[in-house]
Amino acid sequence: MAVDYLSALNAGSGLNTTQIVDALVEANRAPKAAAINKKVEENNVKISGFGTLKQQFETFKTSMTSLDGELGLTINSGSSNIETTITDKTKISDFSHSMAVSQLAQNHTLVFANNFSTENASIGQGTLLFEFGSWNRNDKEFTEDTSITNKTLTIDSTNNTLTGLRDAINDGGMGVTASIIQTATSAYSLVVKSNSGSGNEMKITATEDSSNAGLSTFGFSTYASSKETIIGQDASLTIDGVTVTRSSNTITDLIDGVQLELKGTVSSAVKVEAGYDETSALTNMNSFVTSLNTLTTKMNELTKRGLNGEASGALAGDSVARSIQSRIRAISTTPIEGYSSSSIYLTNFGISTQLDGSIAFDEDEFLTAYRANPGNIAAIFASQVKTDSSSVTAQVSGDDYVSGVYNFALSGGSATISSSAMTALSGSYYTLSGDTNGLAISTSLTSTTNSIFLGRSLLETLSTYADTVLSSSGSVSTQISRKNNDITDLNQDLADLDTRMADLRERYVTQFSSMERVVKNLRDTGDYIQNFTDTMRAAKEN
C-alpha cells in the first residue's frame, strides 16, 4: 500500500491523499468495469447456451440418421439357400414371391499344371491375350462377346515366373483372378478363374518369345477339357413361375431394394417376402418422438423468459434461438406432400404438437393408422420417388425438387411433367430446372399418362435443417463466433479503461500534490504570523 508521507509528517493538509485518490479513481472505474464485465458474462452465457444447442442438434441428427428409411418392413426367405438383404429402404415395399433355384452361377475355371517345382519357376516370355465370351464344347468353337474388353498381358524379364504371371493376371483389371496351388511336394499349378456366368468364359491366346519359350503352357485358344475344371454358367431360378437367369449368384435387379444371394439350389419353391411389422414401426415412431421431444424441451429450457420468479434460459430473448425454435415447430406442423393424392400430417399418425412445442404421441391412434395404410409412414421416415404404373419408373438426383404429385404425359416421343416440357434421351426423360429439377423418368411405352410422386420425408427435412444449423457458416456457429469476438473487444475495453484510470490517477496525484504545497505554504505563513504576534506581545509586556 502506498504511504502518504506528507500526511504522516503533518507537512500538508493532514488528509490521506493516497486513499482519497484511490477512492476517486475506483469510483470512476467501478461502474464502467462492472458494465463491461456484465456484458462479458452475458456473452459467455450465450456462448455456453449456443454450445448446448449445437450439441443437442448433433445428437438429434445422429438419431435421425439411424431412423432413415425405417418403415417397419421385415424381409424373410423360406430357404437358407436364398439369402435376402435390404439394400435400398426407399425402394422396397411389401411383397411376396414364390422362388426356386435350379442352378447356381459358376466361374469359368482353368488349371495349368506343368508340375512347376517352385512358385517362382520360370515360365518363358511373350504375351497372353484374354478374350471373353462362350465356348461351344460340342464343336469346340468360341464366340467372343465384343462388349467385354479383351486384354493383352506382356510377360517379360520382370515377371516371367509363375508368381509374376499370377500377379499380372490379378492386376490386369479384367475381373479374372489367379492363384497358385501346391498339388504335391515340389509341384505347383496355376488356377485362373473368370467372372461368373456363361458369357464370361475365357479364351487365352499365348504368343511366345522364340528366344524364351514356355508361355504356350498357359494358352487356351483351343478348347481342352483337360485344362477346364469348371465351366462358366448362369444362375437359373424361377420367380412366381417365370424362369430368369443371371450371370452372378448375387442378384440386385430382380426385386426393388433387395439383394438376393444364392447359396445353393432350391428344388421346391419357397416364399421370399417382405411385410410391414407394426411392432418395429411403433418402436421407430417412439424413437422419433423421443428425439424430437428431447430437442424441443432443451430449446424451451434455453429460451424460457424466467417469468414468475423462475430463472431465465441462457438464450432468453435471443432472436436467432427463437428463429430456430420457430422453424422446428413449423417443420413439425407443415403438411407432407408427394406421398399420396392428399397431404399427410403428423396428426394422421397420432402425433400432436402441444402449446410449448413438445410432442404428444397416441400409440393406439398410430397403430390404427399404420394398419390401415402402412406405406404412408414413409412420409415420416423415407424420401422416395414413385409412379402409379409398373411400366414407368422414376428417380431424382440432387435436392432441388419440390415435393408434390406431378402429372407425366408422353405422346409421340414428347414428354411433359405438369405441362412443362422434358428433355428426351435414350428412352428416358429428364427435367433440369423447375419444381421437378433432377427428375428422370424411364418407360418403354410410347404413350402414357401417369402420376409421379416426389416425396421428401419429414425426417430428411429435419435432418437437412439440422445440417444447416450445425454448419460452420450456420447461424449457431456464426453467433458463437460473434460472441467470442465481442468478448475479445470487451476485454480490450477493460484494458483501455485501466489505462485511462492510470492516467486519471496520475492527474489526481498531481492536483493533490499542488494542493498540499498550497496548504503547506499557508500553514508556514500562519506559523510566521503566529510567531510574529507572539514576539510583539512579549515585547509589549516587557
* pLDDT (0 to 100) of residue 202: 98
Angle, helices 278-303/17-67, rounded to nearest 10 degrees: 170
Q: How many CB atoms lie within 10 A of CB 29?
A: 17
Q: Rounded to a whole number, what is the largest CA-CA distance in the chain? A: 167
Closest CA to 284 of 339, 352, 363, 337: 363
Q: How is 341-365 classified by DSSP, letter by letter?
A: SS-B-GGGGTEEE-TTS-EEE-HHH
| DSSP summary character for residue 470 | H
Which residue stretches of the chain have pLDDT < 50? 1, 3-11
385 C-beta neighbours (distance < 10 Å), count: 22
User: Which pLDDT score is estimated for 9?
Assistant: 39
CA atoms in the 13 A half-sphere facing the CB of 134: 11
Instruction: Tell me what pLDDT residue 436 has.
Output: 95
Q: Which of 206, 176, 181 is nearest to 193 (CA)?
A: 176
Comparing CA positions, the residue from 251, 271, 242, 273 lying closest to residue 79 is 271
CA 463 to CA 329: how far, in whole Å? 14
Q: CA–CA separation, 104 vs 125, rounded Å?
A: 37
- CA torsion angle 403 293 373 87 (round to 10): 70
| Closest C-alpha to 63, from 262, 366, 250, 286 | 286
Please, how many CA atoms are within 13 Å of residue 82, restricted to the half-sphere of its CB? 30
What is the pLDDT at residue 6?
A: 44
- pLDDT reported for residue 8: 44
Residue ranges of E strands in 36-106:
73-77, 82-86, 95-103
Q: Which amino acid is located at 238 in the chain? A: T
